[in-house]
Structure 1
Amino acid sequence: MSIIDIVEGSSFLRPINYLRVRNDYSFKYNWLYPIILCAVLFSGVYLGVATHNPADLLSAINKYGSLLTVLFPFYFASLAATSSLGGVPALDKKFEMANEVTLKIKLADGEYETLDLCPRDFISLLFAYCTTVSLFLLVVSYTTSGLIAVVEKLPVCASWAAFIVLFFITFLLSQLLVTTLLGVYFLSDYMVRQRASSDSARSDEDQI
């Protein structure tokens, strides 16, 4: 069973389809920039921990909780706004890029189809992914004590397990922050420029 079968097989997993969107910049924004940011954040968190035992390492996750309580409702609001946003026809047109922005999905009959996404589709997928990841991280931040108890009971390599868990959580947070900035760009500068482009085109038509 492939990853696409697993993701497409559950409605709860489909928000992570955002990571399967293919475009000219997907690798940089989904993986490269988040890894760089993760290295910076993780270094700061790791060096800021007094002792590197499992409890201290995982307790650092609590620091993310306050940020996530702010971001989670923002993602919900942005997702709702994107689906109902009007007045910008360019949001429903194809991207003006060298290569198309596409997503391969599984249809009800089991066949696969590659969709050409418009900006509205892309932004919806982006904020759906952010909402899902922020909810997961928020739950993790509130259950840190239980996570510490589980890791500490490991017979060997408890510190390494805590190190890996903290790194994974920090990467998800880094990916979330980079994706958030990308989403903010689309909801602000991108729409302003597209509206200006549309107004300019209408003005040229009127002059003709």
Structure 2
Amino acid sequence: MALITYILIAIPVCLLAIILWLCFDYWKYKRKNHFILLILLFYPILSYAQHTDKAQCKISFSSYANQPGKLEYTQDGIIYRFTPESNAWEITIKNNTNKDIRINWEKASFIINGKASGVGFCPVTADSPPTDVIKEKSEITRTVTASNLIKGKKVNKIYSKRNLKRGGRTSVNIVLPIGIGNQPQFFHIFNFVVTAN
């Protein structure tokens, strides 16, 4: 029992000694320690929510690294850029590969707090979402929402700032089935967390 107590005391003391060593031994190892210190100080800021919408809600990736000021992810030469708002999200997909890519919107999913739905386009149309083909070195932009939020011509909110102010969070997952060239479709899943500012 006493050994555990000593270990629990020793860990914070060692961490404090390392931080003090970094600060006071700055002149000897000026650049290296300065960089380490900056990483330690700014890591919480760098990993925090990276997009703030018009309603002052913060949205961040929960499974990918966040970049300052934007929700963007690159994989297999394809850039996915998300611009969220409370009732619809704008998705830009840029094809930097040398093959055409296909996006099957009929099999795409919009999952809000674990409730799955299909994808609907905004402005609302009666047509079913098509399969988009993005030629090499080009991009498309679509504004989408969960199909179960569409009531006639009206679109209900994906998340509400009022609910988020009470300490709540909203989980938003977007599943995009994408095929590159002649390859079969692969489901890309993007996980987001929405919190109040």
TM-score above 0.5: no
Which is strand-richer, 1 or 2?
2
Q: TM-score range by the shorter chain?
A: under 0.3
Q: Decide which structure has greater helix share.
A: 1
